[in-house]
A and B are shown apart, each in its own frame.
Chain A
Amino acid sequence: MPDSIPADSVGVVSPTTLHFDEPLRLDCGVTLNEYDLIYETYGTLNAESNNAVLICHALSGDHHAAGYNTEKDLKPGWWDNCIGPGKPIDTNEYYVVSSNNLGGCGGSTGPLSSNPTTGTAFGPDFPIVTVRDWVESQARLANALGIDRWAAVMGGSLGGMQVLQWAVDYPERVASAIIIAAASKLSTQNIAFNEVARQAIRCDPSFHGGHYRLRNVVPERGLMLARMLGHITYLSDDVLHAKFGRELRDGKFNFGYDVEFQIESYLRHQGQAFVQRFDANSYLLMTKALDYFDPAAHFDNDLTKTVANCQANFLVISFTSDWRFSPEKSRELVRALLDSDKDVSYIDIETEHGHDSFLMDIPLYHNVLRSYFARTLREQQY
Chain B
Amino acid sequence: MRLRADQALIAEWIRPRSRILDLGCGDGRLLAALQREHGASGYGVEIDPENIIKCIANGINVVQSNLDEGLADFDDNSFDYVVMTQTIQAVRYPQRLLHEMLRIGREGIVTFPNMGHWKCRFQLAFGKMPITRHLPNDWHNTPNIHICTIEDFEDMCDTENIEVLQQTAVDSEHRAGLAMRILPNLLGEIAMYRFRRSLEPPR
Contact = CB atoms under 8 A, between A and B. Distances in A.
A368 B64 contact: no
Contacts of B5: none
Nearest to B60: A345
B75 interface: yes
Contact of A346 (B57, B59, B63, B78): B63
B35 to A, nearest CB: 11
A339 B53 contact: no
Interface in B189-203: none
Given A338-B73, A368-B56, A343 B61 contact: yes
A334 B73 contact: yes
Interface residues of A, number: 23
A343 B55 CA distance: 13
A344 B61 contact: yes
B49 A349 contact: yes
Contact of B55 (A331, A338, A345, A367): A345
Contact of B73 (A335, A367, A371, A379): A335
Nearest to A331: B73
A338 B73 CA distance: 8
Contacts, number: 50
B153 interface: no
A347 B49 contact: yes
B176 interface: no
Contacts of A368: 49, 52-53, 56
Contacts of A204: none
Contact of B56 (A334, A339, A345, A349): A345
A339 B63 CA distance: 13
A347 B64 contact: yes
Nearest to A350: B49
Interface string A357-382: 00000001001100110110011000
Contacts of B75: 338-339
B59 A379 contact: yes
A371 B62 contact: no
Contacts of A346: 62-64
Contacts of B62: 345-347
B56 A372 contact: yes
Contact of A345 (B63, B73, B74): B63
A132 to B, nearest CB: 27
A189 B44 CA distance: 33
A331 to B, nearest CB: 7
A325 B53 CA distance: 23
Contacts of A338: 43, 63, 73-75
A157 B159 CA distance: 49
B25 to A, nearest CB: 11
A136 interface: no
Contacts of B78: 339
Given A335-B73, A339-B75, A348 B53 contact: no
B64 A367 contact: no
Interface of A: 315, 331, 334-335, 338-339, 343-350, 364, 367-368, 371-372, 374-375, 378-379
15 contacts: A315-B56, A331-B73, A334-B63, A338-B74, A339-B78, A343-B61, A344-B63, A345-B61, A346-B62, A350-B49, A368-B52, A372-B56, A375-B56, A378-B59, A379-B59
